[in-house]
Amino acid sequence: MDFTKAETVLDLNNIREALVRMEDSIVFDLIERSQFFSTPTVYEPNHFKIPDFDGSFLDWLLLQVEKVQSQVRRYQAPDQTPFFPDKLLPSFLPNINYEKVLASYANEININDKIMQFYINEIVPVVACKDGVQPENIGSVADCDISCLQALSRRIHFGKFVAESKFRSNREYYTELIKAKDVAAIEASITNSAVEEKILERLVTKAESYGTDPSLKYSQNPQSKVKPESIARLYRDYVIPLTKTVEIEYLLRRLEDPE
Amino acid sequence: MDFTKAETVLDLNNIREALVRMEDSIVFDLIERSQFFSTPTVYEPNHFKIPDFDGSFLDWLLLQVEKVQSQVRRYQAPDQTPFFPDKLLPSFLPNINYEKVLASYANEININDKIMQFYINEIVPVVACKDGVQPENIGSVADCDISCLQALSRRIHFGKFVAESKFRSNREYYTELIKAKDVAAIEASITNSAVEEKILERLVTKAESYGTDPSLKYSQNPQSKVKPESIARLYRDYVIPLTKTVEIEYLLRRLEDPE
């Protein structure tokens, strides 16, 4: 997939391949996060006194990271979605000529707030090695959190490419559904239960395989650093449904853009 | 290992366990880097015009990251070593009471310049999926580079804990070697070829296992995203020798600190 060439980005095989590859990154990031305690202080608004800032410790660190990354054009890329879109900085680098792939309102489809809530409330308790706080690790915790959140956000907002690809390959059919605001039919058209089942099976094997030191396989009975079934459940209950939310939000507005 | 309790940090079993766990992070980070081209422009001093900055694109991004992370106390931790120690910022968080584990000059033992050179010249060409540059990916490349560099730096500078632990368990013997500046004997005392061989074997299995999509194992003949033998070779030729460099530099000065 080459983001400077639209046809490669809308090829469903390429999209599928990219989504499968992203599972690896997400599992790696969750494994890294599993080294640390749940650390709820990191997520509690204003638990730490941060000068000139209203929000959680994680919010503060994530904002700093986005400010830095925006300066190297991260959020010009159509597959990146910022958590703080109003606070980004300009880049000193020349602009990239991305071919127009998504509809003009694509950047407005941003469900990072929902992703943040799901991450804090559902993922952290499942993945953290223990409940509680080690005050000396809050920076490391938030650092891992940011990697997880960015990987999840990219995966979930990739639904925009799926939606655009489906729209273009069946323009008349979708135009009708969108005009009728038929959310149920749109959702049915983007749901493939057999594929979803495969994703979940694959996640179990990945969480098992990447989370277990392979050199211990025969000598001991090692447990994966993350619970494979739990990772698959998080995908089933949140990642996949949130991706569909993105796809549906995107499709419902698709007629705003005549192209 | 709990960095607020000295005895847990100097326990050689804990150190060994931490080093084994770090291999996973390093392999994950190298796998992530392998998605991108070698991208030499990122490492070339002043290839990009960056306002008020003299250095490479990677230097610039790494400096911004260290500035942000120093504000959340990263470099107060005895297991973290900055690439830009003179440019860190103060933290708004309260200080942590780390028990004194290392000698007072420990922060001066910093071979990150060597690590940067070894990373650019030896790791990137081996790990990158292809030679060349994709200009739209330079930010992602440098982002992965920073993860790799920080993980490698932590691993290599962990030699300080190994050295301190060995010194304390055999104070008289080391005092003699240090007084005699007997580098060869110090190096021999910290070298265990059997353990090193095990590390290399384990790295091959980790690079194989973490780099390969396990769901493809039986249906296709998938290649690991990183070459397992190459990863082991990088460890043998650079990571392990550089760790010894840290240990030797640390030990040679150990009598400066009377404790």
Q: For chain B, which domains are there?
A: 6-256 (1.10.590.10)
CB B112 within 8 A of CB B85: no
Taking only the tens of pLDDT, chain A with its 259 residues reads: 888 888 999 999 999 999 999 999 999 999 999 999 999 999 999 999 999 999 999 999 999 999 999 999 999 999 999 999 999 999 999 999 888 999 999 999 999 999 999 999 999 999 999 999 999 999 999 999 999 999 999 999 999 999 999 999 999 999 999 999 999 999 999 999 999 999 999 999 999 999 999 988 776 778 899 999 999 999 999 999 999 999 999 999 999 998 8
The closest of A34, A60, A65 to A47, measured between CA atoms, is: A60
Provide the pLDDT for residue A94: 92
CB A110 within 8 A of CB A153: no
**What is the three-state SS of A73-123?**
CHHHCCCCCCCCHHHCCCCCCCCCCCCCCCCCCHHHCCCHHHHHHHHHHHH
Q: How far apart are CA A152 and CA A171, in angstroms?
A: 29
Q: Which residue of A has its CA nearest to B80?
A: A140
- Contacts of residue A199 in chain B, CB cutoff 8 Å? none
For the question of residue A192 being annotated catalytic, the response is yes
User: Is B25's Cβ below 8 Å from some Cβ in A?
Assistant: yes
The closest of A130, A135, A176 to A38, measured between CA atoms, is: A130
The encoded tokens of residue A226 equal 């993350």
One DSSP character per residue, A12-36 reads HHHHHHHHHHHHHHHHHHHHHHTTS
Q: Rounded mean pLDDT of chain B?
A: 95
**Residue with token string 């991305």:** A98
Provide the pLDDT for residue B150: 98
Distances (CA, A) of A27 to A123, A206, A236, B59: 12, 7, 14, 29
Q: What is the ipTM of this complex?
A: 0.96
Identity of the residue in A21, A202, A214 whose CB atom sits nearest the CB atom of B209: A214
Alpha-carbon A199 to chain mean position: 15
Q: How far apart are CA A9 and CA A137, in angstroms?
A: 39
Q: How far apart are CA B152 and CA B149, in angstroms?
A: 5
- Contacts of residue B206 in chain A, CB cutoff 8 Å? 213-215
One DSSP character per residue, A235-258 reads IIIIIHHHHHHHHHHHHHTGGGS-
Provide the pLDDT for residue A1: 84
Provide the pLDDT for residue B220: 72
**Residue with token string 């942590």:** B96
Interface contacts (A, B; CB < 8 Å): 101
CB A184: neighbour CB atoms within 10 A? 8
Provide the pLDDT for residue A160: 98
DSSP state of A215: G
The closest of A66, A59, A93 to A81, measured between CA atoms, is: A66
- Neighbouring-strand partners of residue B130: B37
- Residue A92 and residue B50: Cβ atoms within 8 Å? yes
pLDDT in tens, B41-74: 999 999 999 999 999 999 999 999 999 999 999 9
CB A32 within 8 A of CB A144: yes
Q: How far apart are CA B116 and CA B27, in angstroms?
A: 17
Alpha-carbon B92 to chain mean position: 27
Provide the pLDDT for residue B216: 85
Provide the pLDDT for residue B141: 98
Residues 51-70 of A with CB under 8 A from B: 51, 57, 61, 64-65, 68-69
Residues 184-213 of B with CB under 8 A from A: 201-202, 205-206, 208-210, 212-213
10 Å CB burial of residue B114 (0-12, 13-18, 19+) is: middle
10 Å CB burial of residue B30 (0-12, 13-18, 19+) is: buried
CB A81 within 8 A of CB B84: no
DSSP state of A45: T
- Neighbouring-strand partners of residue A37: A130
CB B116 within 8 A of CB B92: no
Show the low-confidence residues of chain B (pLDDT under 70): none
- The C-alpha angle with vertex A27 and arms to A24 and A33, in degrees rounded to 5, equals 140
Q: How far apart are CA B219 and CA A257, in angstroms?
A: 42
User: Is A35's Cβ below 8 Å from some Cβ in B?
Assistant: yes
User: Which residue of B53, B66, B93, B208 is the best one to mutate when testing the A interface, meaning the one whose CB has the most A CBs within 10 A?
Assistant: B93
- Neighbouring-strand partners of residue B37: B130
The encoded tokens of residue B239 equal 């990571």
Q: How far apart are CA B123 and CA B58, in angstroms?
A: 15
Distances (CA, A) of A11 to A2, A77, A100, B8, B99: 11, 18, 14, 53, 56
